[in-house]
Amino acid sequence: METKLITAAVALLLGALFTLLLSYTMLFSKKWDPKGKHCLVTGGSSGAGRALAVELAKAGAHVSIVARNPERLQKALEEVEKARKTPEQVFRCYSFAVNTESGSVAAIEAASEPFGGRCPDAFFLCAGASRPGFFIEQSEASLKQGMEQTYYAQAFTALAATKAMVKQGIKGKVVFCSSILGYFSMVGYSTYSPGKFALRGLAETLQSEFMLYGIEVHLAMPGTMYTKGYEEENVGKPKITLKLEETDEGATPEHVAGVILKGVRNGKFHITVDFIGNVFRASSAGASERNSYALDWIHGLIGYIALPIWRKSVDTAVVGHRAEHQEYLRERGFLSV
């Protein structure tokens, strides 16, 4: 009896010591400060990208924003300008499509010009879009477009950015913006989730590979954000998907940008924004670098219990939608009878 008690006490003590030690090492992990750094933000004319650009300006960084539409870029640049901290900060906008390597190279070269050809220190890759719909309504073109608007919209900028950083010996940063739909998926997201999962795959590879160069990789996994992009995706979003998403409270892009920047400053690899994000992150961590050894197992435990229950409720809701869906397919002329 006594030996058992002693063993339990020793195990408890060791566990506590272990947690303390890890929290201690995390407290002393190196911090990143955007002040004086040149940060390039793709998708910087709207939503999360624009909010990040503003946050970075507030933090004293030089900011270059990249997107396609020049008018929206100009408007966003005015917002960034309002957040200026010092007269030395350089703020520019560049109109390029970044879903190709050549477009990304051109954007980076243009943004490097005011800095004597030196490429940016940090790349925040927020470009992307979502067009939800049912899988059977997709085509070869729309599936490819889905990858284009998710994976390629960020992968090619990462490629161009890394080549430039390595050539110039810059130990910079690459921050991807995936989604919690890069951890799990559900009805309606067949053109979006695959590319967001792919971004995780890429980030996990590069987190390891870039150890060769001292370049750090981050992967943001936000949930619903109330942005222009969100309004656009909702136009064609299946009703069942809209209903299932009600569980996600959502957040403003400003809030999300703040959380992402904090995660980057603190050297977090996976950056989740809220409780649901933390639960999915901890529940699908694999061998990914953890955020907090003290908290992640609790989020993991919550996921272990709650996620199968939630998944069951999703399945029930989808099955409950069958009749309405048949009607929808008939109306659309997909079914002849």
Ligand X SMILES: NC(=O)C1=CN([C@@H]2O[C@H](COP(=O)(O)OP(=O)(O)OC[C@H]3O[C@@H](n4cnc5c(N)ncnc54)[C@H](OP(=O)(O)O)[C@@H]3O)[C@@H](O)[C@H]2O)C=CC1
Ligand Y SMILES: CCCCCCCCCCCCCCCC(=O)[C@@H](N)CO
Could you say which of 223, 238, 263, 277 contacts ligand Y (CB under 6 A)? 223
180 contacts ligand Y (rule: CB under 6 A): yes
Closest distance of CB 255 from ligand X, Å: 12
225 contacts ligand X (rule: CB under 6 A): yes
188 contacts ligand X (rule: CB under 6 A): no
Q: How far is CA 62 from the centre of its chain?
A: 22
Could you say which of 34, 120, 128, 172 contacts ligand X (CB under 6 A)? 128
Q: Pick between residue 263 and residue 303 the one whose CB is nearest to ligand Y.
A: 303
Q: How many residues bind ligand X (CB under 6 A)?
A: 30
248 binds, among ligand Y, ligand X, none (CB under 5 to 8 A by kind): ligand Y
Residue 227 corresponds to which tokens in the numbers above? 């942005």
CB–CB of 68/94 below 8 Å? Answer: no
In whole angstroms, how far apart are CA 102 and each of 99, 114, 150, 219, 241? 9, 20, 17, 23, 36
127 contacts ligand X (rule: CB under 6 A): yes
The answer to whether residue 230 is catalytic is no
CB–CB of 213/239 below 8 Å? Answer: no
Query: According to CB under 6 A, which residues from 235 to 264 bind ligand Y?
Result: 245, 247-248
232 contacts ligand Y (rule: CB under 6 A): no
Starting from the edge strand earliest in sequence, which strands make up the sheet with 38-42, in order?
Answer: 91-95, 62-67, 38-42, 122-125, 173-177, 216-221, 270-272
98 binds, among ligand Y, ligand X, none (CB under 5 to 8 A by kind): ligand X
DSSP letter for each residue of 249-298: --B-HHHHHHHHHHHHHTT-SEEE-SHHHHHHHHHT-TTSPPS-HHHHHH
Residue 152 per-residue DSSP state: I
241 contacts ligand X (rule: CB under 6 A): no
* Nearest residue relative to ligand X (C-beta): 47
In sequence order, the 6+-apart residues with CB closer than 8 A to the CB of 237 are: 132, 133, 188
Residues designated as active site: 192, 196
Site residues for ligand X per CB under 6 A = 42-43, 45-49, 67-69, 72, 97-99, 126-130, 153, 177, 179, 222, 224-225, 227-230, 253
